[in-house]
Amino acid sequence: MIVEEIIAHMESLKNEKQREILMGFFKTGAGDYGEGDEFLGLKVPQTRAIVKEVWKDVPLDEVPTLLKSRWHEVRLCGFLILVAKFEALAKKSLEMDVKAVHARDEIVKMYLHYAEQANNWDLVDLSAPKLLGRWLLLPTCLGDTANGSPTLHSNYKTQILDNLAYSKNLWRQRMSMVCTWETSHEGDPSWCLRYAEIHLKHPHDLMHKAVGWMLREMGKHVSMDLLRDFLHQHIHEMHRITLRYAIEKMTAEERLEWIKR
């Protein structure tokens, strides 16, 4: 199996010094959000280089072996392979191609099935926007009303994201928020606004930051007035960190006015 070769190669690159740094950075201590996560000590560019070399050769049905690995970097490799395979099937010329649509859907189904294996913020942030977020903008054959034919079928996609948003798993919840990076960059603010409102009172600071970050991106790429409208409506119920992230692209004077409120 090629995935066994990938794992063995990644294990051979183990860096103890970098491993200790990453375990601290990603909060793997007792009681922290990354408790128990294990690292090899590889930097993201190293993993990306491996993915670039092997993604075409890894059969989709072997990717779960990577996703179920004990090693953080090996799981990242698996998720980035899914992203690479999805992007290859999402080219303009293949958007409505039925075979490509079905193949994309299979990747999304696998991604969602193993979502909790993306058990730290970097694994979510490096995969959800380019895979799940892009899928929101493309035709799908999933959903009862699709009848096997490609359709944008937004109701089904909303159901998928709602399931993530209302789950009890922090990483699934973060997926529902950060995947809107892609939809906002393509000019659609609806996903960001919906899930920002759902997660506005979330208790975890990783979600406070994610909501503010996505609101900032929506304002920057779609409409600052839409962002201002959202802030006017919700400023008294959002966390201060969320506000600070959301207003980063505003002028210093306007940022001060929002903070005063």
Q: Nearest CA to 16 among 36, 46, 40?
A: 40
Q: Nearest CA to 55 among 82, 22, 17?
A: 82
- Letter for the amino acid at 49? A
pLDDT in tens, 10-20: 999 999 999 99
Domain range list for the chain? 179-261
Q: What is the DSSP letter of 145?
A: G
- Other Cβ atoms less than 10 A from the Cβ of 157: the count is 20
Give the confidence band of 30 by pLDDT, cuts at 50, 70, 90: confident
pLDDT in tens, 143-168: 865 566 777 766 899 999 999 999 99
Cβ atoms of 191 and 220 within 8 Å: the answer is no
Q: What is the DSSP string of 81-121?
A: HHHHHHHHH-SGGGTT-HHHHHHHHHHHHHHHHTGGG--SH
pTM of the model: 0.94
Polymer length in residues for the chain: 261
Give the confidence band of 1 by pLDDT, cuts at 50, 70, 90: low
Rounded CA gap, 204 and 145, in Å?
Answer: 36
Q: Nearest CA to 151 among 135, 165, 128, 132?
A: 135
Long-range contacts from 22-25, C-beta under 8 angstroms, 24+ separation:
22/72
User: Residue 31 has what pLDDT?
Assistant: 86
> Which of 24-33, 174-183, 234-243 is predicted with the least confidence, judged by mean pLDDT?
24-33
pLDDT tops 60 at residue 98: yes
